[in-house]
Amino acid sequence: MTMRIRVLSVCLAAVAATLLALPALSANPTQLPKPDGKPADMSKPVQVFIIMGQSNTLEMGKVKGGDGSLETAVKDKGLYPYLVDDEGNWTTRKDVRNVSVMESRGNMRVYRNEWLTVEGKGKIGIEIGIGNALGAAMDAPVMVLKSSIGNRSLGWDLLPPGSERYEVDGVTYAGYKDHPTAEILPRPGWKYPGKPVAWYAGKQYDDDTANAKNVLSELDEYYPGAKEYEVAGFFWWQGDKDRYNSVHAGRYEHNLANLIKALRKDFNAPDAKFVCATLGQTPKEGAKNPNEKKILEAMFAISDPDQHPEFKGDTATVYTHPLSKGSASNAHYGGNAETYMNVGQAMGQAMVELLKKTSN
């Protein structure tokens, strides 16, 4: 039965109260403690962290298969020791729910609704590292809620509400909810077919946020026994599709800032933190692709209080080039599980640090 949920705005004092009185997490996130198997303090609202982006937010890191697999990383290299118990079995967090949904032909498809674990999976994503970092730092119940799909751009599919039409070199580009026409283009080279187009600028944003809200409207179906929640933060790993488009790449900072504001408004979470991760193949120095360089600079800009004082203390950018084990975003980093674990852990720890600043 659908539960009537009271949607709570994130209260700084309440979020602060969920953080355990622990020292700051180690700079080496592989030193996270092993889960103790105990449930969370259910007297507190569920702390919800929403993951959005494109295909690299999905499960792309292989669990088995030799070098680059999670099994090899954990059992042969000794990495991420908190993922296995003393007998070598995959651990399960009883204080973190792993929920993953995706739009499928007009309906929400549920891919994950379970306690956070590697057990039974062929592939893993950033949610494993994120969820373990959050679970280790908080005594409140945690939900990592992923609502995303692949091959989507911020400049078109995920364009947030409030985005207006704009013009570049005499060409008009779509604003939120604009359909492509002969006069309004989502991207260079678009060929208007001369008939109505169902897709519109921002449709994927609408689908992903609607699906996340659907989950939260039936909270006890996704976190058993929960009665209240707070949207405490957002995770964003995206940019691959925008890097093929110089106009969208040049607009990325503007769109990303609007995205943060739109998400906070849509989820009634004005104080929710925001963590984004860069494309793993793009270095700070010597980036060969000019569009990738623009996206990298945009991601660092939104967490720079001198450039965006409105986000001071509320946003963080994870530089993933040193964390990536090779390949690139358009090849899902070769399916290397270490890349997905490293990025997820770093994103989770960045979120914890933002929340700790709030509590101090």
Residues 289 and 312 in one domain: yes
Q: Cβ-count burial of 107 within 10 angstroms (0-12 exposed, 13-18 middle, 19+ buried)?
A: exposed
**Total number of domains in the chain:** 2
> Considering the chain, what percentage of its residues have pLDDT values greater than 70?
91
Domain boundary among 154, 181, 198: 198
Residues 179 and 49 in one domain: no
Residue 151 clears pLDDT 60, i.e. is over it: yes
* 277 within a domain of the structure (yes/no): yes
Residues 260 and 275 in one domain: yes
Residues 208 and 291 in one domain: yes
Q: What is the pLDDT of residue 30?
A: 56
Burial 317-335 (b: 16+ CB within 10 A, else e): bbbbeebbbebbbeebbeb
Is pTM beyond 0.75? Reply is yes
Confidence of residue 187 (pLDDT cuts 50, 70, 90): confident
* 127 within a domain of the structure (yes/no): yes
Q: Which amino acid is at 283?
A: P
**Could you tell me if 77 and 336 are in contact, meaning their C-beta atoms sit under 8 angstroms apart?**
no
* 253 within a domain of the structure (yes/no): yes
Residues 233 and 111 in one domain: yes
Q: Which amino acid is at 14?
A: A
Query: SS3 helix, strand, coil % of the chain, rounded to 5?
Result: 35, 20, 45
Domain extent at residue 214: 6-163+202-359
DSSP 8-state symbol, 241: G
Residues 276 and 182 in one domain: no
Residue 255 clears pLDDT 90, i.e. is over it: yes
Residues 109 and 146 in one domain: yes
Residues 298 and 275 in one domain: yes
Residues 159 and 206 in one domain: yes
Q: What is the pLDDT of residue 340?
A: 98
* 1 within a domain of the structure (yes/no): no
Q: What is the mean pLDDT of residues 169-185?
A: 90
Closest residue by Cα to residue 133 from 104, 106, 95, 160: 95
* 287 within a domain of the structure (yes/no): yes
Q: Average the pLDDT over each of 51-55, 168-172, 184-188, 233-237 and give the range with the smallest value.
A: 184-188
DSSP E strand boundaries for 38-170: 46-53, 61-62, 92-104, 107-117, 123-124, 142-147, 166-168
Give Cα 340 to chain centroid, integer Å: 12
Residues 153 and 168 in one domain: no
DSSP 8-state symbol, 284: S
> Considering the chain, what percentage of its residues have pLDDT values greater than 90?
83
Residues 106 and 217 in one domain: yes
**3-class DSSP state of 168:** strand
**Could you tell me if 47 and 134 are in contact, meaning their C-beta atoms sit under 8 angstroms apart?**
yes
Residue 312 clears pLDDT 90, i.e. is over it: yes
Q: What is the pLDDT of residue 31?
A: 77
* 65 within a domain of the structure (yes/no): yes
Domain boundary among 198, 224, 254: 198
What's 218's domain CATH number?
3.40.50.1110
Residues 190 and 227 in one domain: no
